[in-house]
Amino acid sequence: MLEIDGSYGSGGGQILRTALALSAILGRGFSIRNIRARRPRPGLMPQHLASVRAAAGLCNARVRGGVLGSTELDFEPGPIKAGNLVVDVAGETGSAGAVTLVAQTVMPIMFFASQPCTATLRGGTHVPFSPVYEYLAQVVIPFIRNLGYRAEARLCRAGFYPAGGGEVLLRTMPAQPPGTDRIVLAEPGRRKGIRIVSAVSRLPVSIAERQLKRLGMRLKNTAFEAEVREVPADGPGTYLYLEAEYERITVGFSALGRKGKPAEAVADEVYEQFAAHEQTGCALDPHLADQCLIFLLLRNVPFTFTTSRVTGHLETNIWLLNRFLPDREIELQVNQDRTGVVRTGCCK
C-alpha cells in the first residue's frame, strides 16, 4: 500500500479526495496518516467521510478508520462498479458540507465504470471554502469534455451554510478516447463574453440586485450578460458568480454573502478575483489548475498550461499525483508573481 502523509503541503482534505479517486481507478491501496493535520479541526469531517464512503461504495473497498474525527485511514479498493449513488453529506450531522468537493472524488471514479453512472449529492452547494455548483457545471465539466469525459450536472435545490439541504444530480458516461493528442493552453485567447449570476434565497431580491449593480460598475465598459435569481433552499443565502469565456478556455469566480457582509463587498470580491486573473494573461484560473490535473493525467495526454496563481492545493495535488503515477511526472514552474506553468515531462 502507498503510504501518504496527510500533513504534506496544504495539509487539507484535497489530499484525501484525490487519493481516494486515484486509488479506486488505479486499483492501488493507500494508507494515510495525519489527515487534515494543518486544519483547526483535524481529522475526517462529514464531507470527507461522505467522500470515503462514496468511493468505497463505487469500488467495493475495504476501509479502516472511516469514522468522524479519524486522522488515519486505510483504503483497499476492489473493481469499480456502475450504478446509482446517493451521497448525503448531512446524513449524520446536519452538515452543510460541500457536495462539489465530494464530486471531486466520485466523478473521476464514475468515468471509469463500464456503464453510465448517476450520483445524487446532498448537502451544501454554495458554501465557504469550496467551488459553487456553477463552477462544477459550467467550468470543470466543459473543460474535461475534450478529454473524453462526458458528464452533466443539474442543481435540484441550493444549499447554503449552515442549513445545507441542497441537492445536485450528476450523470456520467464511461470515459471515451480523448479528442486530442496534446493539450497546450499557454494563453486563453480572445475574451468572447462574460456571464453573471446573482442569486438569493429567503432574502430580499434587492440584495442580489445590489450585488449585480456593483459588479457592473466595477466592470465599467465591459459588456456582459446577467441574471438575477431567487433560488429555492432550506435556509437564507446569497452568492455571485462570474464566468468569463475565452476562445480556448472558460474560467469562473464567485463569492458568498453572509450576515454583516454588504452586497457591494461580495461584488468587489468577485471583481478582484476576475481582474487579478485576467491581467496575468494566463489560461487557467487558480482553482481549475488543480481540479483538472487528475483528469489530464489519467488520459496520459501530454499537456502544458499556464495558471494565474499557483496555490497550495495545486502544489499538493502535483506531489500526490506524482506519487501515484511517477512515470507520468508533472512539472511545475512557479514564477516570482506566483503565476505558473504546469506540464508533463513529455510536453515542454
Instruction: Catalogue the active-site residues.
Output: 313
185 contacts 233 by C-beta, under 8 angstroms: no
Cβ-in-10-Å burial (0-12, 13-18, 19+) of 83 comes to middle
The three three-digit cell numbers of residue 118, written as one number: 448517476
Residue 115 labeled ligand binder: no
| C-alpha distance from residue 259 to each of 203, 211, 228, 239, 262 (Å) | 11, 14, 20, 12, 8
Query: Beta 340-344 vs 330-334: how paired, if at all?
Result: antiparallel
- DSSP symbol at 338: S
Among 99, 75, 86, 67, smallest CA distance to 16 is for 75
Residue 208 labeled ligand binder: no
Half-sphere CA count of 104, side-chain side, radius 13 A:
25
Beta-ladder partners of 295: none
- DSSP symbol at 189: -
47 contacts 159 by C-beta, under 8 angstroms: no
Please compute Rg for the chain using Cα positions.
19
Residue 290 labeled ligand binder: yes
CA 333/CA 340 separation, integer angstroms: 5
Residue 333 labeled ligand binder: no
- Helices of type H across the chain: 13-26, 46-59, 99-111, 133-135, 141-145, 205-219, 263-278, 286-291, 293-298, 312-324
Beta-ladder partners of 121: 87, 168
Residue 126 labeled ligand binder: no
> Rounded to 5 degrees, what angle do the CA atoms 43, 48, 50 make?
135
Residue 288 labeled ligand binder: yes
How far the first Cα of the chain sits from its last, in Å, is 32
- Could you give the 3-state DSSP secondary structure of residue 81? coil
- Binding-site sequence positions for ATP: 104, 287-291
- Binding-site sequence positions: 104, 287-291
